[in-house]
Structure 1
Amino acid sequence: MDAFIGRCAQDGPVSPRSHVRVVLAAVIFTVLFSQLLLYPGIADLVTELGAEASDEGTVSPQLDASMWFLVAEFAAYVAFVGVWGVASDAAGRRVPFIVLASLAGAAGYAALALVPTIGTIPFEGVLALRVFQGAMTIGAFSLTITMLMDLGGGHGKNMGAAGIAIGLGAALGAPVGGQLTAIDPVAPLVVAAALLVVVGALVTVVPDRAPETTRTWRAVARGVSDRPILTLPYAFGFVDRMTAGFFALVGTLYFQDVFGLDPAATGLLLACFFAPFALLQYPMGILSDRIGRTVPIVVGSLCFGVGILAVGAAGSVALAAVAMVAVGVLGALVSPATMALVTDLAADDHRGLAMGGFNMAGSLGFLAGFLVGGTVAGTAGYDAAFLVVGGMEILIALVAVPVFVKLAPGLTREDVASS
Structure 2
Amino acid sequence: MSDASGVPAGPDDERRDRLALALVVYAVLLAQTLVYPGVDLLAGVYGGEGVAAPTLFLAVEFAAFVAFAGPWGTLSDRMGERRRLVAVAAAGGAAGYLLLALAAGTGLPFWSVLALRAAQGGATVGALSLAISALADRSGGNGRNMGIAGIAIGLGTATGAPLGGQLYELGATVPLYAAAGLLAVAAAGSLVTPDRPPAGAGSEAARRHGGLSSILAGLRDREDLAVPYAFAFVDRLTAGFFALVGTLYFREAFGLGPGATGLLLAAFFAPFALLQYPFGLLSDRVGRVAPVAAGSAAYGLVVVGVGFAPTVPLVAVAMVAVGVLGALMAPATLALVVDLAGEDGRGAAVAGFNAAGSLGFLAGSLVGGAVAAEFGFRAAFVVAGGSEFLLALAALPALVRLGRRSGRTAVFGGGD
Name the TM-score class by shorter chain: over 0.9
SS at match of 1:298: helix
1:49 maps to 2:46 = yes
In structure 2, the partner of 1:169 is 156
Q: Check conservation: 1:142, 1:355, Cα contact below 8 A.
A: yes
Distance of aligned partners of 1:100 and 1:385 in 2 relative to their CA distance in 1, 3 Å threshold: same
In structure 1, the partner of 2:291 is 296
Distance of aligned partners of 1:409 and 1:316 in 2 relative to their CA distance in 1, 3 Å threshold: farther
Q: Check conservation: 2:4, 2:195, Cα contact below 8 A.
A: no
Give the aligned residue type for 1:286.
Answer: L
Identical-pair percentage: 54
In structure 1, the partner of 2:373 is 378
SS at match of 1:151: coil
Q: Check conservation: 1:239, 1:397, Cα contact below 8 A.
A: no
Q: Check conservation: 1:82, 1:357, Cα contact below 8 A.
A: yes
In structure 2, the partner of 1:213 is 202
Task: Determine the C-alpha separation between the residues in 1 that align with 2:31 and 2:333.
Answer: 24
Q: 1:82-128 deviations in whole A, cap 9, x for unaligned?
A: 01011110111111111111111111101100112422x11111111
Give the aligned residue type for 1:87.
Answer: L
Q: Check conservation: 1:92, 1:210, Cα contact below 8 A.
A: yes
The correspondence for 2:115, drawn from 128, 152, 157, is 128
In structure 1, the partner of 2:78 is 90
Give the aligned residue type for 1:128.
Answer: A
1:36 maps to 2:53 = no
Task: Determine the C-alpha separation between the residues in 2 that align with 1:259 and 1:6.
Answer: 54
Q: Check conservation: 2:218, 2:349, Cα contact below 8 A.
A: no
Give the aligned residue type for 1:33.
Answer: L
How do residues 184-333 of structure 1 correspond to structure 2 at under 5 angstroms?
Answer: 184-211=171-198, 212-215=201-204, 217-219=207-209, 221=214, 222=217, 225-333=220-328
1:75 maps to 2:70 = no
Task: Determine the C-alpha separation between the residues in 2 that align with 1:239 and 1:41.
Answer: 24
The correspondence for 2:352, drawn from 350, 354, 357, is 357
When normalised by structure 2's length, the TM-score is 0.93
Can you give the 5+ residue segments of structure 2 that lack an aligned partner in the other structure? Answer: 412-416
Q: Check conservation: 2:287, 2:409, Cα contact below 8 A.
A: no
In structure 2, the partner of 1:56 is none
In structure 1, the partner of 2:13 is 16
Distance of aligned partners of 1:206 and 1:415 in 2 relative to their CA distance in 1, 3 Å threshold: closer
In structure 1, the partner of 2:361 is 366
In structure 2, the partner of 1:57 is none
Task: Determine the C-alpha separation between the residues in 2 that align with 1:205 and 1:12.
Answer: 14
Task: Determine the C-alpha separation between the residues in 2 that align with 1:300 and 1:81.
Answer: 26
SS at match of 1:118: coil
Task: Determine the C-alpha separation between the residues in 2 that align with 1:112 and 1:394.
Answer: 38
Q: Check conservation: 1:296, 1:333, Cα contact below 8 A.
A: yes
Give the aligned residue type for 1:293.
Answer: R
Give the aligned residue type for 1:94.
Answer: R
In structure 1, the partner of 2:338 is 343
1:152 maps to 2:147 = no
The correspondence for 2:94, drawn from 86, 98, 106, is 106
Q: 1:251-287 deviations in whole A, cap 9, x for unaligned?
A: 0000000000000000000000000000000000001
Give the aligned residue type for 1:36.
Answer: T
Q: Check conservation: 2:45, 2:105, Cα contact below 8 A.
A: no
Deviation, 1:209, is 1.3
Task: Determine the C-alpha separation between the residues in 2 that align with 1:389 and 1:277.
Answer: 18
The correspondence for 2:402, drawn from 404, 407, 411, is 407
- Deviating 4+ runs (over 4 angstroms): 11-15, 413-416
SS at match of 1:208: coil
Give the aligned residue type for 1:299.
Answer: A
Task: Determine the C-alpha separation between the residues in 1 that align with 2:303 and 2:291.
Answer: 18
Q: 1:181-202 deviations in whole A, cap 9, x for unaligned?
A: 0000100000100110101111
Give the aligned residue type for 1:74.
Answer: F
Distance of aligned partners of 1:389 and 1:313 in 2 relative to their CA distance in 1, 3 Å threshold: same
Q: Check conservation: 2:46, 2:105, Cα contact below 8 A.
A: no
Distance of aligned partners of 1:219 and 1:369 in 2 relative to their CA distance in 1, 3 Å threshold: closer
Q: 1:167-222 deviations in whole A, cap 9, x for unaligned?
A: 00000000000000000010000010011010111111111112452546425734
When normalised by structure 1's length, the TM-score is 0.92
In structure 1, the partner of 2:414 is none
Q: Check conservation: 1:24, 1:203, Cα contact below 8 A.
A: yes
Deviation, 1:410, is 5.7
Deviation, 1:409, is 4.8
Deviation, 1:136, is 0.4
SS at match of 1:205: coil
Q: Check conservation: 1:276, 1:329, Cα contact below 8 A.
A: yes
Q: Check conservation: 1:224, 1:346, Cα contact below 8 A.
A: no
Task: Determine the C-alpha separation between the residues in 2 that align with 1:89 and 1:179.
Answer: 40
Deviation, 1:411, is 2.7
Q: 1:14-43 deviations in whole A, cap 9, x for unaligned?
A: 952111111111110010000000000111
Q: Check conservation: 2:4, 2:197, Cα contact below 8 A.
A: no
Can you give the 5+ residue segments of structure 1 that lack an aligned partner in the other structure? Answer: 54-60
RMSD: 2.0
Q: Check conservation: 1:148, 1:159, Cα contact below 8 A.
A: yes
Task: Determine the C-alpha separation between the residues in 2 that align with 1:19 and 1:228.
Answer: 35
Q: 1:345-398 deviations in whole A, cap 9, x for unaligned?
A: 111121100000001111111011111101111122111111222222222222
Task: Determine the C-alpha separation between the residues in 2 that align with 1:28 and 1:323.
Answer: 27
Q: Check conservation: 1:8, 1:207, Cα contact below 8 A.
A: no
SS at match of 1:16: helix
SS at match of 1:375: helix
Q: Check conservation: 1:300, 1:331, Cα contact below 8 A.
A: yes
